[in-house]
């Protein structure tokens, strides 16, 4: 009787352990995480080496058509 209970418990425990191990072994990092890790190590050195001063943003200009441009558009 004790042997039967022992066999049943060990079978259940082995089954659960196999299932847990099966789930954990297949995990790999996602591409996104790998990309972040790679860029974090490479970009630190490259950014410091290439520190150029930025140009100021261009002033926004209205794109309104001139009178000649409007008449040209009407003809086309």
Q: Which domain holds residue 3?
A: 1-36
Look at 46 and 19; give whichever has higher pLDDT.
19
Residue 58 lies in a domain: no
Does the pLDDT at position 12 exceed 90? yes
Nearest to 21 by CA among 9, 13, 10, 11: 13
Please report whether residue 52 resides in a domain: no
Neighbours of 73 (CB within 10 A): 9
pTM for the model stands at 0.30
Count of the separate structural domains present in the chain: 1
Q: Is residue 42 in some structural domain?
A: no
pLDDT at 3 > cutoff 60: yes
Q: Which residue has the higher pLDDT, 52 or 46?
A: 52
Let me know if residue 13 belongs to a domain.
yes
* CA–CA dist 65, 55 (Å, integer): 28
Average pLDDT, the chain: 79
Q: How far apart are CA 12 and CA 7, in angstroms?
A: 9
Query: Given a cut of 80, is residue 43 above it in pLDDT?
Result: no
pLDDT, position 32: 82
On the question of pLDDT at 58 being above 70, the answer is yes
Cα torsion 37, 39, 44, 47 to 10°: value is -170
């Amino acid at each position: 009787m004790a042997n039967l209970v022992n066999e049943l418990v060990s079978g259940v425990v082995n089954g659960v352990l196999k299932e847990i191990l099966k789930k954990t072994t297949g995990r790999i990092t996602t591409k996104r995480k790998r990309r972040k890790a790679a860029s974090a190590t490479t970009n630190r050195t490259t950014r410091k080496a290439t520190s150029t001063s930025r140009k100021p943003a261009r002033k926004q200009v209205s794109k309104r058509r001139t009178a000649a441009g409007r008449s040209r558009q009407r003809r086309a």
